[in-house]
Amino acid sequence: MTSSGGPNSKAGHGVTLGDSKTAPTRVRWQMVGLLGIIAALTFLDRLNLSIAGEYIQNEFAFSIQTMGWIFSSFMLGYALFQVPVGWLGDRFGPRNLLTMARLWWSLFTAATAIAPRLPLAGWFGIAWSFAII
């Protein structure tokens, strides 16, 4: 081990990177696979809403502008949560954050089915209930 902070050490902590005795595991490839599956599912979720949008618009008699607000709520969610979720990933680690994100995403995906029957529909209207969920 070196403590000089040379080219193979981590930020002067005295740990040499090249002297690791443990073989790399497959966990990193499992994480890459899991991230790929998560990305595919989120893309399918967005695609699903755009396909179902026509039927939602007809059923609830939404205008094109109202549907635009509903579709834009996805982008607003992404924009508002990029920095806070990055901080949470640094604080709690990717495995914990991805687990919680999947559970949260699944809960809200299921909640879109009941959005018209929520009390929010009376306060905000049905279109905003979809946008909030």
Q: Which residue has the higher pLDDT, 57 or 130?
A: 57
**Sequence ranges of the domains in the chain:** 26-132
Mean pLDDT on 62-79: 83
Q: Residue 67 contacts by C-beta under 8 Å, 6 or more apart in sequence?
A: 53, 56, 57
pLDDT of residue 121: 57
pLDDT of residue 127: 59
Q: What is the pLDDT confidence band of residue 1, given thresholds at 50, 70 and 90?
A: very low
The pLDDT tens digits of the residues spanning 13-41 come to 454 555 567 777 888 888 889 889 988 88
Q: How far is CA 122 from CA 69, 79, 117, 133, in A?
A: 18, 27, 9, 14
Torsion angle of alpha carbons 74, 103, 84, 113, nearest 10°?
Answer: 30
Q: Which residue has the higher pLDDT, 129 or 39?
A: 39
Q: Which amino acid is at 101?
A: A
Q: Which residue has the higher pLDDT, 3 or 23?
A: 23
Token couple for 76? 């607003």
The pLDDT tens digits of the residues spanning 87-125 come to 998 999 988 988 888 888 888 777 777 766 666 656 656
pLDDT of residue 17: 53
pLDDT of residue 91: 93
- Residue 129 in contact with residue 113, Cβ under 8 Å? no
Q: How far is CA 121 from CA 17, 108, 127, 131, in A?
A: 57, 16, 8, 11
Exposed, middle or buried: residue 2 (CB in 10 Å: 0-12, 13-18, 19+)?
middle
- Prediction pTM value: 0.45
The pLDDT tens digits of the residues spanning 38-51 come to 888 878 877 887 78
Q: Is residue 113 classed as helix, strand or coil in its secondary structure?
A: helix
